[in-house]
Amino acid sequence: MRSWAFQAGFEDRLLQSLRGDYRVLAPVRGTDGVVRLQPVRSWAELSPAGLPLIPLKKVVFPPHDVLWTLMEYEYREPAPSSVPVALVGIAPCDLYALAYLDLVFADDPHYQRRRQNLLLIGSNCRPTPECFCPPRREPPPFDLFLAADRLWVGSAWGAGLLTALQAELSSPGDLPLPAEITDGQQQVPENLEQLFTASAGLPLWREVGERCVSCGACSAVCPTCYCYEMSDEALPDGRVARRREWDNCFFRNHALVAGGQNFRPTRAERLRFRFEHKMLGFGALRGISACVGCGRCARACPVDIDISAVLAALAGGNKP
């Protein structure tokens, strides 16, 4: 893969060159300690350790999205923003997660409209003890990727950004991406599908399900959880808005259907469903793991439910 070495200060000049044309967002640690994707001006503001609490899905698939409004007989779709968004300093796992969402929302115009306007500048991460990303065959999607003092280009868009900054780059070399990006932190058990099927009757799910408070935090912070609910809001003055809002398979209503039937009435069933969906996917995506191993769900869970510990328990390890 083509890559360049760059000089000190290059990152800031890259940010500067983006600022006129893009809304530049990067993970920044707030005074309260929470890392959020927010506007930045200099590279020093970026939080090198720590993923943003809410991942990039909030940019392409916002938690509350108005799809259209109606006033009397006037139908309106919200005007798409013409300012492209540059996401800077994005860790590999979050890039892989976006690749998964790209598959899920391949035919979704609302997602695609924002996705096409999204410039991705990845950077190397610092794995935490909760990280358990699996090894990868392919590099993640990105336009540019920065690691230490080297830069990789992943698209024509990314290459185009460099023309103004050529003076600060070495002549191109042919170095692979740093191994830590694709090597991963942990192997996923190979026979997961059988393990899941065989686990249906185990007390494990009931035990963990009893602890779960259905707060939804794990799914809200997960970079690949994409379930949503649609609702129409009507106001007395005649305005109507159709909204799409994040939903969650831990909520009782999520699998509730007409007639009051519920496909997964108990917490234990919902827990098992979420883990199975994360690890094995469904439909055409079956076999592609949705879990990128970022560890967010375990960090956000008030009762310490940890998907990697549950997986280990399935594979014959200790109780989670």
Partner 1 sequence: MKKLRLAYVRFTSCCGCQLTLLNCEEQLAAIDAVAEVVAFDMASSRPDDGGPLDAVLVEGSISRPEELVELLRLRRRAEILVAVGACALTGGVNVLAHGDRIELCEGVYGECAREKLTFPPQPLCRFVRVDLQVAGCPPERSEHLQLLGALARGGLPALPEYAVCMECRQRENLCLLLEAKQPCLGPVTRAGCNALCPSFGAICEGCRGPVTEANRAEESRLLLGLGLSEREVRARLERFSGASHEDP
Taking CB under 8 A as the criterion, the residue among 233, 287, 288, 317 binding partner 1 is: 233
CB 154 within 8 A of CB 145: yes
User: Strand order in 74-76's β-sheet?
Assistant: 74-76, 64-71, 239-246, 228-234
CB 139 within 8 A of CB 103: no
Of partner 1, ligand SF4, none, which one does residue 146 interact with (CB within 5 to 8 Å by kind)?
Answer: none
Q: What is the DSSP string of 25-66?
A: EEEEE-TTS-EEEEE-SSGGGS-SSS--SS-THHHHS-SEEE
Taking CB under 8 A as the criterion, the residue among 59, 85, 125, 212 binding partner 1 is: 212
Of partner 1, ligand SF4, none, which one does residue 232 interact with (CB within 5 to 8 Å by kind)?
Answer: partner 1
Residues β-bridged to residue 37: 27
94 half-sphere exposure, CB direction, 13 A CA radius? 30
* Residue 207 touches partner 1, criterion: CB under 8 A: no
- In whole angstroms, give the CA distance from residue 162 to residue 137: 27
Among residues 77 and 207, whose Cβ is nearest to ligand SF4? 207
Of ligand SF4, partner 1, none, which one does residue 34 interact with (CB within 5 to 8 Å by kind)?
Answer: partner 1
Taking CB under 6 A as the criterion, the residue among 40, 60, 305, 310 binding ligand SF4 is: 305
Of partner 1, ligand SF4, none, which one does residue 237 interact with (CB within 5 to 8 Å by kind)?
Answer: partner 1
Using the contact rule CB under 6 A, the part of the chain among 10-18, 30-38, 158-166, 293-301 near ligand SF4 is: 293-301
Taking CB under 6 A as the criterion, the residue among 15, 144, 218, 314 binding ligand SF4 is: 218
